[in-house]
Amino acid sequence: MSLTPTKMRSIIEGLLYLTGEEGLLLDQIAKVFPDAPEPSIREILEKMKRDYEENEASGLMIVEIAGGWRLVTKPFMATYAEQFAAIPKMTPLSQASLETVAIIAYRQPISRMEIEEVRGVKSEKALHTLMAKGLIKEVGRAEGIGRPILYGITPVFLDYFGLRSLEDLPPLSEAVKDPGERPDEVDLLYNRYKETVKEWSDDNAEQATGEAK
């Protein structure tokens, strides 16, 4: 016996409620309806999403984040949810962490040194924070001297920024013209500059650590 779309809608709604923040993957739903074709399930979800959105009498809406469907409260509810909770909000990421995670997202796998080249400053603390929040992870080591750790983003990254997939990332503005065709001298100067920075900042870091003691 196959289920009517109305019945299916009610079941999906129930499952969305039960799974809450964990979310529901399309193929998990499909397993509950072995006879229903996946497109029809997606159709019901999309319809449900629209219905919730348009329904002014409802404080809920459906979002698709990182491939999972979730029932969440509408943005306007945040005030009430927070007022109700009377707890300080989650602290957003610092500018340094945002820049760092952006570089990682667009350029992964990438080493700490490469990140610091782009930012022009040390980024250890930002990496630390991002690791602790589970937004990035070590994805391997580069070839070459020191075999530096390479970083990449995690699925939590998508969740944290509410993205469906990496394709949802805001487009990066157009690359600088012919970045590969820099004259050699520039690279040399650039490398020398980098090294100076490195020495300098290592010295400085040591000093700072020394002072802290």
Partner 1 sequence: MEYKVKIDAFEGPLDLLLHLIKTLEIDIYDIPVAQITDQYLQFIHHMRQLELDVASEYLVMAASLVAIKSRMLLPKPELPDEEPEDVYEDPEASREALMQQLLDYQRYKEAAEALKENEKSRMRLYTKPPSDLSQYGCADAALMPVSKRATVHDMMHALQQLIRRKIGREPLHTKIAKQALPIGKQMQAVVSVLKNTRQPVLFSALFPYSDRGQLVVTFLALLELMKKNVIACRQEENFSDILVSLEEGTDEFDPNEDAFHY
Q: List the one residue out of 182, 205, 186 whose CA is nearest residue 194.
A: 186
Torsion (CA) 111, 117, 119, 124 in degrees, nearest 10: 40
Question: What's the closest the beta carbon of residue 90 comes to partner 1, in angstroms?
Answer: 6
Binding of residue 95 to a copy of itself (CB under 8 A): yes
Please state, in angstroms and as integers, the Cα–Cα distance from residue 5 to each residue in 8, 11, 45, following that order: 5, 10, 11
Binding of residue 142 to partner 1 (CB under 8 A): no
- Binding part of the chain for partner 1, among 5-13, 25-33, 47-55, 140-148 by CB under 8 A, reads 25-33
Binding-site member from 3, 11, 25, 142 for partner 1 (CB under 8 A):
25
Which of 20/37 has CB closer to partner 1? 20
Question: What's the closest the beta carbon of residue 200 comes to partner 1, in angstroms?
Answer: 4
Q: What's at 97, amino acid-wise?
A: S
Partner touching 36 among partner 1, a copy of itself, none, CB below 5 to 8 Å by kind: none
Binding-site member from 25, 63, 149, 163 for a copy of itself (CB under 8 A):
25
Using the Cα atoms of residue 74, residue 77, residue 82 and residue 85 in order, give the sign of their dihedral.
negative
Partner touching 32 among a copy of itself, partner 1, none, CB below 5 to 8 Å by kind: a copy of itself
Binding of residue 128 to a copy of itself (CB under 8 A): yes
Binding-site member from 113, 121, 166, 172 for a copy of itself (CB under 8 A):
172
Binding of residue 98 to a copy of itself (CB under 8 A): no
Please state, in angstroms and as integers, the Cα–Cα distance from residue 53 to each residue in 21, 24, 41, 73, 74, following that order: 18, 19, 18, 11, 8
Whether the Cβ atoms of residue 129 and residue 92 lie closer than 8 Å to each other: no
Cα–Cα distance for residue pair 166/153, rounded to 1 Å: 10
Which of 8/71 has CB closer to partner 1? 71
Contacts (CB under 8 A) with partner 1, residues 85-104: 85-87, 89-99, 101-103
The count of residues in the chain is 213
Question: What's the closest the beta carbon of residue 188 comes to partner 1, in angstroms?
Answer: 5
Question: What's the closest the beta carbon of residue 165 comes to a copy of itself, in angstroms?
Answer: 16
Cα–Cα distance for residue pair 41/33, rounded to 1 Å: 9
Structure tokens belonging to residue 192: 């020398």
Cα–Cα distance for residue pair 61/73, rounded to 1 Å: 6
